[in-house]
Amino acid sequence: MSKELDMENLRFLPIDKIPPRKRRSKWREIFSRIPKGQALVLNEDEASYASVRSSLKSYKEEGEFQNIMIYSRQDLESGKRMTYVLNP
């Protein structure tokens, strides 16, 4: 259940005081190290597809790694999801 806001005690903060978002991984370095014509292979224990996709999307929005693609496949026997990061 959501709690109602106390309209008399709202908190405000100057926009420049909002802490910047921190990137916790080294995706820029990882993406830049994928050799042309190769694919980085990650299992779900190393990195989730959603995490890789989100990181790549943010870099692409900044104009970086426009050539990098991401695919995901699930192994039918083990049920594990593999993520492939391609540099075609």
Q: How far is CA 12 from CA 5, 9, 15, 18, 27, in A?
A: 13, 10, 9, 11, 34
Residue 72 lies in a domain: yes
Please, are residues 88 and 37 in contact by the beta-carbon 8 Å criterion? yes
pLDDT in tens, 49-82: 999 999 999 999 999 999 999 999 998 888 889 9
Supply the pLDDT for residue 83: 95
Residue 44 lies in a domain: yes
Residue 68 lies in a domain: yes
Q: For the CA atoms of 54, 57, 61, 65, what is the dihedral angle to 10 degrees?
A: 130
Supply the pLDDT for residue 23: 57
User: Which two structure tokens, joined as six digits, stand for 32?
Assistant: 């830049």
Residue 74 lies in a domain: yes
Domain that holds residue 59: 36-87
pLDDT in tens, 11-45: 998 999 888 766 556 899 999 999 999 999 999 88
Residue 56 lies in a domain: yes
Global pTM?
0.69
Q: What's the structural domain count of the chain?
A: 1
Residue 57 lies in a domain: yes
Pairwise pLDDT comparison (3 vs 18), residue with the higher score: 18
Residue 61 lies in a domain: yes
CB contact set of 59 (below 8 Å; sequence gap of 6+): 27, 28, 31, 65
